[in-house]
């Protein structure tokens, strides 16, 4: 098991003490980011709580360090994303096909880089620029500050907006035309938190710092402005929620009702 830390730990490390004068500008922020990534094992945006620091020390082999270790972790993360996408897109035929044609994957991969840059104060402008490039290429706008977990997938991509303070857990799936937006101009937490295993249907808007619980589903074109309990299905404008079907596992739904997901 590899040691992992949350990106906030990188921020903490960065803010310790004052940087030497030579390190305050130019390529120094980039070098610091690379050093941090190399020395810390795996930096993950884990989504909503808990923001664990999984200390595998003593219980497993230490993480590989150096450039090779970093490349292996990146490869593993990419393969994990690809497998999640293949499992969730009935039109997918292979990892290679998805790697080439899926705008959702291109958007999330770019975001993972932009999010790490965002942790460095000096790299925030380039992070925004990178995220704008991804937006132009994919139609998916993810603010670099948004925290997104593992195996995230956006099917079809186009028209998705994810705000700065949004938090997204593991195994979350979004369709096109979704907004995880704010309802206030005040700074601070103003975007939604999606738990693990949440699915959001096409065209849905989830607005404000609401919490959508683990395994919840948000129906197509719904507008969610209140919390949705774990395992519930929210539909309508404004969305009302009801308990989900006991068997409403995403993969079962995909197999049983493929036409729903075309």
Ligand X SMILES: CC(C)(COP(=O)(O)OP(=O)(O)OC[C@H]1O[C@@H](n2cnc3c(N)ncnc32)[C@H](O)[C@@H]1OP(=O)(O)O)[C@@H](O)C(=O)NCCC(=O)NCCS
235 binds ligand X (CB under 6 A): yes
Q: Are strands 232-235 and 240-243 parallel, antiparallel or unpaired?
A: antiparallel
Q: What are phi and psi of 36, to 5 degrees?
A: -65, -45
Q: Site size for ligand X, by CB under 6 A?
A: 16
Tell me how far, at minimum, the Cβ of 203 lies from ligand X, in Å: 7
CB 169 within 8 A of CB 48: yes
Query: Within a 10 A sphere around the Cβ of 185, how many other Cβ atoms?
Result: 6
35 binds ligand X (CB under 6 A): no
Beta bridge partners of 191: none
Tell me how far, at minimum, the Cβ of 163 lies from ligand X, in Å: 20
Please identify, using beta-carbon distances, which residue of 102 and 217 lies nearer to ligand X. Answer: 217
**What is the signed CA dihedral for 62, 65, 68, 71, rounded to 10 degrees?**
90
Please identify, using beta-carbon distances, which residue of 163 and 201 lies nearer to ligand X. Answer: 201
Tell me how far, at minimum, the Cβ of 204 lies from ligand X, in Å: 8
Near ligand X by CB under 6 A: residue from 201, 213, 215, 231: 201
CB 7 within 8 A of CB 116: yes
16: its two tokens: 């310790």
- Mask 171-190, x = binds ligand X (CB under 6 A)? ----x---------------
Angle at 261 between CA 257 and CA 262, to 5 degrees: 110
Please identify, using beta-carbon distances, which residue of 7 and 105 lies nearer to ligand X. Answer: 105
Near ligand X by CB under 6 A: residue from 245, 252, 255, 256: 245
Would you list the DSSP string of 91-109? T---HHHHHHH-HHHHHHH
27: its two tokens: 């390529």
Helix (H, G, I), strand (E, B) or coil at 185: coil
Which part of the chain contacts ligand X (CB under 6 A), choosing from 15-23, 162-170, 215-223, 224-232? 215-223
110 binds ligand X (CB under 6 A): no
| Closest C-alpha to 203, from 175, 161, 173, 234 | 175
Cα gap 40→17, rounded to integer Å: 18
Which part of the chain contacts ligand X (CB under 6 A), choosing from 30-38, 111-119, 161-169, 230-238? 230-238
233 binds ligand X (CB under 6 A): yes
Near ligand X by CB under 6 A: residue from 63, 202, 229, 249: 202
225 binds ligand X (CB under 6 A): no
Tell me how far, at minimum, the Cβ of 68 lies from ligand X, in Å: 40
Cα gap 167→31, rounded to integer Å: 27
Please identify, using beta-carbon distances, which residue of 7 and 239 lies nearer to ligand X. Answer: 239
In the complex, the residues that contact ligand X under the rule CB under 6 A are 156, 175, 201-202, 217, 219-222, 233, 235-236, 245, 248, 260-261
């Amino acid at each position: 098991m590899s040691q992992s830390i949350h990106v906030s730990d990188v921020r903490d490390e960065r803010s310790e003490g004052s940087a030497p004068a030579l390190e305050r500008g130019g390529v120094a922020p980039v070098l610091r980011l690379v050093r941090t990534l190399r020395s810390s094992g795996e930096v993950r945006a884990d989504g909503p709580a808990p923001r664990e620091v999984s200390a595998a020390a003593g219980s497993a082999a230490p993480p590989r360090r150096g450039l090779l270790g970093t490349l292996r972790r990146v490869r593993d993360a990419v393969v994990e994303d690809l497998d999640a996408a293949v499992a969730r897109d009935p039109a997918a035929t292979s990892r290679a096909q998805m790697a080439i044609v899926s705008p959702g994957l291109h958007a999330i991969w770019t975001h993972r880089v932009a999010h790490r840059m965002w942790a460095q104060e000096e790299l925030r402008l380039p992070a925004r620029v990178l995220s704008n490039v991804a937006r132009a290429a994919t139609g998916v706008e993810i603010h670099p500050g948004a925290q997104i977990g593992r195996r995230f997938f956006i099917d079809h991509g186009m028209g998705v907006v994810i705000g700065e303070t949004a938090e997204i857990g593991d195994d979350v799936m979004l369709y096109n035309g979704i907004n995880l937006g704010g309802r206030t101009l005040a700074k601070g937490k103003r975007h939604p938190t999606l738990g693990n295993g949440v699915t959001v249907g096409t065209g849905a808007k989830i607005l404000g710092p609401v919490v959508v619980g683990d395994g919840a589903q948000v129906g197509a074109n719904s507008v969610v402005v209140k919390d949705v309990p774990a395992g519930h299905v929210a539909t309508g404008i404004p969305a009302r929620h009801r308990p989900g079907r006991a068997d409403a596992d995403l993969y079962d739904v995909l197999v049983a009702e493929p036409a729903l997901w075309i």
